Amino acid sequence: MELSSRITGLTGGGSDGWDLFIRARKMIAAGQKITELTIGEHDIRTHPDILEAMRASAAAGKTGYSLVPGSQSLRETIAARVQARTGIATTADNVLVTPGGQSALFATHSAVCDPGDTALYCAPNYATYPGTIRGVGAIAKVIQTRPENAFQPQFSEIDALAPGAKSLLVNSPNNPTGVVYSAETMDAIAEACLKHDLWLISDEVYDTQVWEGTHISPRTLPDMAERTLVIGSMSKSHAMTGSRIGWIVGPQAAISRLISLATHTTYGVAGFIQDAAEYALKRGTELEQEISAPFLRRREIAKRVLNGQNVLQAVPSTGAMYLMLDIRATGMTGEAFGNALLDTHAIAVMPGESFGLAAAGHIRVAMTVEDSAFEAAMIQLVDFAKGLAA
């Protein structure tokens, strides 16, 4: 008996990018103290008021099957939020509630790609992107962005690979680089999509974490609303990672088909979680800013620690909860550097290679530990890199 090539080929025959993270977790399980700067997991947990809304909903009986598309009131709340932020008319019919952003990634690619179709994505990329594309039977083709362009995709890079493709996946604010795509970059993305008749899948789960510049949803650009599927999530904006709740916003015709897909796969999201999400969204930007504030503080801490040395070069971090550091001056790969840092200083980071070849020679630092511990880890990291370079 053999498993399907679709599932056995998810990682493309290589690592899934999580090796160092798994090793660090095994060390923690064995009792070793590790400073984890790996995954995008808030060091604060879901706000007590959100948890109380969740408890009250469950106690009131919202523990049975829920409507597959999501509750009408939550879909309306999401639509109102999107319309207020983008100026683009959005109704509940444009919204599907999903069990997190990862589920939305799989669903959107299922919606626009047939088996054997080519789906594009930009590297450096979140580690699950290529496997998600392969999981729907499509061919994952990577657009390698470059550090000299602050990892912002260029029209020429997309244009070269777009002929014959069905979709393009972009992510701004970006994980892993922390880069917020500029207006010029978004215009280039839209131009390529229109030229090559591509569906655009826009992963915007970090839209509340913008430190410089402006987040632009490509759905707002001319002629793009009808070919764009936007992915949102409560995980990063409201520290609800374990609740697994997100959404897709897109053309009504596409959403109606995606509802049918959800009926045959996820069958909806628990009602008490939806009610908690609705409560959280109705708290507005004040709560979102409270949750994002630690990352802005730690970005300033990192800038201060990195100032005055030239071994580690930071990619300009204008959003999200990450720093991407160029460690090539040490003569090591990101993977080798990360493993050596873990062994010598018990600090765990993600190798750049986990996010594609474009990030080779880099590491990603998640700003997800308490301020003083983060500063101490950054000082150790810089001293370690200086020693290697010397």
DSSP lists the bridge partners of residue 123 as 144
Calculate the alpha carbon distances from 177 to 172, 207, 365 in Å.
10, 14, 9
Q: What's the DSSP call for residue 104?
A: H
The pLDDT assigned to 16 comes to: 66
CA-to-CA distance for 191 and 283, rounded, in angstroms? 36
3-state DSSP call for residue 168? strand
**Fold that domain 63-284 belongs to in CATH:** Aspartate Aminotransferase; domain 2 (3.40.640)
CB neighbour list of residue 165: distance below 8 Å, 6 or more residues apart: 117, 118, 119, 120, 141, 196, 198
Question: Domain segments of the chain: what residues?
Answer: 5-45+286-389, 63-284
CA-to-CA distance for 200 and 214, rounded, in angstroms? 20
The pLDDT assigned to 12 comes to: 83
pTM attached to this predicted model: 0.96
At the top level of CATH, which class does the domain 5-45+286-389 belong to? alpha beta
Pairing of the two strands 139-144 and 313-314 = unpaired
CA-to-CA distance for 255 and 233, rounded, in angstroms? 17
Residuewise pLDDT in 10s, the chain (390 residues): 999 989 999 888 766 678 999 999 999 999 999 999 999 999 999 999 999 999 999 999 999 999 999 999 999 999 999 999 999 999 999 999 999 999 999 999 999 999 999 999 999 999 999 999 999 999 999 999 999 999 999 999 999 999 999 999 999 999 999 999 999 999 999 999 999 999 999 999 999 999 999 999 999 999 999 999 999 999 999 999 999 999 999 999 999 999 999 999 999 999 999 999 999 999 999 999 999 999 999 999 999 999 999 999 999 999 999 999 999 999 999 999 999 999 999 999 999 999 999 999 999 999 999 999 999 999 999 999 999 998
